[in-house]
Structure 1
């Protein structure tokens, strides 16, 4: 703690600060206030205290337009001792510049958490023309299991796929997620004690769901008009669960994956890993009626939790003129003749060859049998006391400057990095997610094809038994978290930090503000039960 306080004090003296109270109002500013509060919610009919943004699950929708500057004022008002009372926001899939990397929100990598009764302002300028479907959530431990999740959509006024759909608005966003009746602290304690990953009680669709034996909470209803084409933006906000999406009697044409516009690709079923997003076009071309939107999920042994019935995870597609009633057809897990998405079949609309790698990294994932411990190259990630970015600003440039358990890879700037994941022998695909950047999926877990000509770029891909190769470019130097988006696995060590530009002048471009510099001393001064 003394080292951290000294480091922060030195940084405060060396770096220029904006004038206190100065009004800095960027062009195209979009301001949002999120009050992080404990609220009683009952998405599936079981009421519990949760961690919420503005008292709702999911949290408020954030909508932006290409080129906007997002400013989020976050007030931490958490009081419930059964859950973490500090917090930190992450904006999943949004690019961050080197200069703005201290706003990126990853605890102990780019920042320290924000304690109760404290506030922080996140400045998130949209860069590089980024548009698409994103989301925000708590990045602290497994706190977003308790409810702190919401959608973030960036609209493109000149969307090259606009001719394919008629409707794309706030009513065509589908947020699916796993829901848990118990709070994250005892769930995590049980995982640590047994090595068994917790199993959710239910799945939710836009904030509502059902569990076995529970009340018949009305299903979410998606209204459509015959003859119109709808762009549905689907976000898997789970901490663990894999959802399989389909709509009875309707095809889904994929036009976006994790913010990358794709060549239209039509399927009737999509498997979505935690953290993944897709935009699909659905044409309302069937007889006027009610149709099931199927969203069954898997995530651990359902026998562990008798509340779980994945068949109940669904919604209703209701044509104008149809009765306000459930579909008359049976609830199924999806189409009998499934034309399922194969990730390797997706192509970006703006094709770009994967550049030749300058650095090759091989990663092998391994779980310690019977323990809540995951390893990458025999290292189980542990968050450092001093955040990685603070160490970098204090002069850290070599691997020896970081603890082995930080699993930090030191990379050259403006280089192409290839990460080769060895085939994984466990029974589930691990959704690996890169913060602040995206990557070329040169080889998907869904195929043996190696595609360097026009691979998909996205920020979450499944790492599994077939092996995976991704490449990314270190053109935005910084300390970027690269981890499994099954947050139980991430908390158990399935994570790395990809750090680039540490030995160049890029580090001098980072000028954190005083509010950021004060976060670590304030957090370290908190008693353990408030952290």
Structure 2
């Protein structure tokens, strides 16, 4: 393990032998990271299967950096297992991409082409003033279901919430995710044939899970010291499942939502949709003992997968001095009468009114019954062979320059766009995610209230039965992918491209030769290597 410490105002790292994470002192220096994308035989829930992972681990190594640095990530594709995709592409969820770095954004067939086997690519990402909790994952098809996911934390040496907690290091990163014991290619074929989204075998908490009938894999342990306060950075790395986080006998004070500092808001339970992140402060103010850190989930009917038992996704919050044993209390889904987070109650620490919209867009989400086909405004998104960014750099500017199935909305520069998602009857909220930027949540799916004065800003929002309204700015030219973070739905067409200022793209974006070589190399691959 590695630990992070504050010393003379700088954030430093004690390295483990594996060198799993990299962080350097505060400043504008470059931080190089190497991720080898490999197939590895792993058993997160006790069932061994071939996986696709970064540097041989699930989740992948945490990327720990500091505000103002430039992150340089070299991805080496070393995949060989033909039961899964052999190419790959990395997305850095929530990281704001500068307009002139759009080609490093990592979305296959929108801003780039995938990286083929035995090839490498280096993503350069200036982090600027951004801070908070983020994550990386494969953006190709549903590949991250096979394991390619990991945490990113951008620490702020001047964190306005620093007085609220004592510990914020690698040990306080909480990664939950859904896990399947089958590889994605056969599961995707089954989904396309039936329209039924695969139900996960288990959920994982920091890479560890259990399933009905499986071995009693040791629970992960989160260690605390009585009297200290901990900033837990919760990341839902699922491709479908919604996790509800709680800790027996402890409450949670939210101080960050998807990289945005919030007014402290105390609750007992936090529901986290796929792709969402929260920082919560937990005071270790109870008797020295072992407590359940609960992470039950929902995601399809357990009747479709008898392995699934949502109450088995959890960890032990262990106080220093407590015996190394399980808590004596029952495995529950959390406090039955606890106060649950209502997203509409969140407020940013620095309020920013949502600008008056210049353009209004309504997005209707509809599924074709019995088929794996999702539509946005009667269009099911299909990735084009030539990425959107390549087309724009070659002169594409009008709707007729794109296939209808690219579902591309061409937007003026420096405008405020309002997107309305009308209420729908689907039984699960769709976590819609914006690449490259975040948005104002003017109306949350959690409430009927409309808030234009101080709404929360985030980059993943639930779209469901109550309806959702958001606004974003087109200050950054580029084609920005906007899609459901239930990746099975995204693969079935639940996605759009928000193309801001095509002329500005041609003025600002100047790709490297390395990027220009990606598409010819990928297109030359036989289908089994793509």
In which range does the TM-score fall when normalised by the shorter chain? Answer: over 0.9
Aligned partner of 1:284 in structure 2 is 284
Aligned partner of 2:52 in structure 1 is 51
Per-residue deviation at 1:325? 0.3
Aligned partner of 1:105 in structure 2 is 106
**Counterpart Cα distance in 1 of 2:434 and 2:221:** 33
The question of whether the paired residues in 2 share the 8 Å contact of 1:501 and 1:507 is answered with no
The question of whether the paired residues in 2 share the 8 Å contact of 1:63 and 1:152 is answered with yes
**Counterpart Cα distance in 2 of 1:309 and 1:87:** 31
Aligned partner of 2:338 in structure 1 is 338
Work out whether 1:273 is the aligned partner of 2:296: no
**Counterpart Cα distance in 2 of 1:352 and 1:524:** 45
Give CA deviations for 1:188-239 in whole Å, capped at 9, x if unaligned.
0000000100000000000001000100000110000111100000000000
The question of whether the paired residues in 2 share the 8 Å contact of 1:179 and 1:201 is answered with yes
Local SS of the residue matching 2:171: coil
Give CA deviations for 1:66-85 in whole Å, capped at 9, x if unaligned.
01100001100000000000
Aligned partner of 2:222 in structure 1 is 222
Aligned partner of 2:165 in structure 1 is 165
Work out whether 1:91 is the aligned partner of 2:95: no
Local SS of the residue matching 1:529: helix
Aligned partner of 1:9 in structure 2 is none
**Counterpart Cα distance in 2 of 1:214 and 1:190:** 24
- Written as runs of structure 1 = structure 2, the 5 A alignment for 1:47-86 is 47-86=48-87
Aligned partner of 2:20 in structure 1 is none
Cα RMSD (Å) = 0.7
Give CA deviations for 1:268-310 in whole Å, capped at 9, x if unaligned.
0011100000000000011110000000001001100011001
Local SS of the residue matching 1:99: helix
The question of whether the paired residues in 2 share the 8 Å contact of 1:91 and 1:135 is answered with yes
Local SS of the residue matching 1:522: helix
Aligned partner of 2:124 in structure 1 is 123
Aligned partner of 1:15 in structure 2 is none
Give CA deviations for 1:115-154 in whole Å, capped at 9, x if unaligned.
0000000001113x11000000000000000000000000
Give CA deviations for 1:307-341 in whole Å, capped at 9, x if unaligned.
10011110000001100000000000110212000
Aligned partner of 2:208 in structure 1 is 208
Work out whether 1:186 is the aligned partner of 2:186: yes
TM-score normalised according to structure 2 size: 0.95
The question of whether the paired residues in 1 share the 8 Å contact of 2:179 and 2:200 is answered with yes
- Written as runs of structure 1 = structure 2, the 5 A alignment for 1:515-526 is 515-526=514-525
Per-residue deviation at 1:506? 4.2
Q: Which moved more, 1:451-460 or 1:330-339?
A: 330-339
**Counterpart Cα distance in 2 of 1:455 and 1:122:** 32
The question of whether the paired residues in 2 share the 8 Å contact of 1:438 and 1:459 is answered with yes
Aligned partner of 1:377 in structure 2 is 377
Per-residue deviation at 1:421? 0.5
**Counterpart Cα distance in 2 of 1:213 and 1:492:** 32
Give CA deviations for 1:418-456 in whole Å, capped at 9, x if unaligned.
000011111010000000000000000000000000000
Work out whether 1:448 is the aligned partner of 2:448: yes
**Counterpart Cα distance in 2 of 1:311 and 1:256:** 26
Structure 2 residue runs without a partner (length 5+): 1-26
**Counterpart Cα distance in 2 of 1:272 and 1:69:** 29
The question of whether the paired residues in 1 share the 8 Å contact of 2:246 and 2:270 is answered with yes
Per-residue deviation at 1:27? 4.5
- Written as runs of structure 1 = structure 2, the 5 A alignment for 1:326-475 is 326-475=326-475
TM-score normalised according to structure 1 size: 0.94
Local SS of the residue matching 1:339: coil
Per-residue deviation at 1:505? 4.0
Per-residue deviation at 1:507? 1.8
Aligned partner of 2:257 in structure 1 is 257
Aligned partner of 1:491 in structure 2 is 491
The question of whether the paired residues in 1 share the 8 Å contact of 2:392 and 2:505 is answered with no
Q: Which structure has more RCO (C-alpha within 8 Å, separation ≥ 6)?
A: 1
Local SS of the residue matching 1:436: coil
The question of whether the paired residues in 2 share the 8 Å contact of 1:421 and 1:469 is answered with yes
The question of whether the paired residues in 2 share the 8 Å contact of 1:443 and 1:469 is answered with yes
Aligned partner of 2:24 in structure 1 is none
**Counterpart Cα distance in 2 of 1:529 and 1:506:** 33
**Counterpart Cα distance in 2 of 1:82 and 1:174:** 30
Aligned partner of 1:507 in structure 2 is 506
Aligned partner of 2:23 in structure 1 is none
**Counterpart Cα distance in 1 of 2:320 and 2:252:** 20
The question of whether the paired residues in 2 share the 8 Å contact of 1:247 and 1:334 is answered with yes
**Counterpart Cα distance in 2 of 1:451 and 1:496:** 25
Q: Do the aligned partners of residues 477 and 272 (structure 1) sit closer, same or farther apart at CA in structure 2, a change above 3 Å counting?
A: same
Runs ≥4 residues deviating over 2 A: none
Q: Aligned residues, how many?
A: 504
Local SS of the residue matching 1:171: helix
Aligned partner of 1:155 in structure 2 is 155
Structure 1 residue runs without a partner (length 5+): 1-25
**Counterpart Cα distance in 2 of 1:351 and 1:94:** 21
**Counterpart Cα distance in 1 of 2:511 and 2:161:** 38
Aligned partner of 1:196 in structure 2 is 196
Local SS of the residue matching 1:100: helix
